[in-house]
Amino acid sequence: MQIDRDALIDLAGKVREKAYAPYSDYRVGAALLGVSGRIHTGCNVENAVYSETICAERAAVAKAVSEGERDFQAIAVVTQDGGSPCGACRQVLNEFSPDMIVLIADRTGKFRETTASALLPDHFGPHNLR
């Protein structure tokens, strides 16, 4: 399946506007493309207890899994400055699809491309528990 990178980044940028980020004012949007062709979105949801904050990437993955999807082709992550996914998000992305394309964009749509496994080499995963 062909990946429309621009459309995925555009959707992540739109959902970024829905983020709840009253403490950091650092809004993040994610658009996760499943192998089914369905796109699952997520945005960050902050909490006064910072450890309870939910990142956009993990929100999108949880939404996808709750809708029955577990294999992913790509994810677009849009932040104000093109910030990279945090370590927890990198771990979650690798759990499901280490080879997925990761598009990291700023709010203007300028992006760079990598993979989940490149963001977290030598990750701990399901293979370690077999």
Q: What is the pLDDT of residues 65-120, one digit of tens each?
A: 999 999 999 999 999 999 999 999 999 999 999 999 999 999 999 999 999 999 99
Write out the two tokens for 9.
């980044």
Three-state SS at 92:
helix
Active site residues: 57
Which residues lie closer than 8 Å to 60 by C-beta, 6 or more apart? 30, 31, 32, 40, 41, 42, 75
Amino acid at 31: A
Measure the CA angle with vertex 123, ends 71 and 12; round to 5°.
Answer: 45
Specify if 29 maps to a domain. Answer: yes
**Distance (Å, whole) CA 54 – CA 58:** 7
**Distance (Å, whole) CA 49 – CA 38:** 33
Write out the two tokens for 15.
């959902």
Q: Give the structural domain span for 21.
A: 5-110
Instruction: Supply the pLDDT for residue 20.
Output: 98
Chain position carrying tokens 């760079």: 112
CATH number for the domain that contains residue 16: 3.40.140.10
pTM of the model as a whole: 0.95
Domain count, the chain: 1
Specify if 81 maps to a domain. Answer: yes
Instruction: Supply the pLDDT for residue 130.
Output: 86
Specify if 116 maps to a domain. Answer: no
String of b and e for 74-85 (b: at least 16 CB within 10 Å)? bbbbbbeeeeeb
Specify if 117 maps to a domain. Answer: no
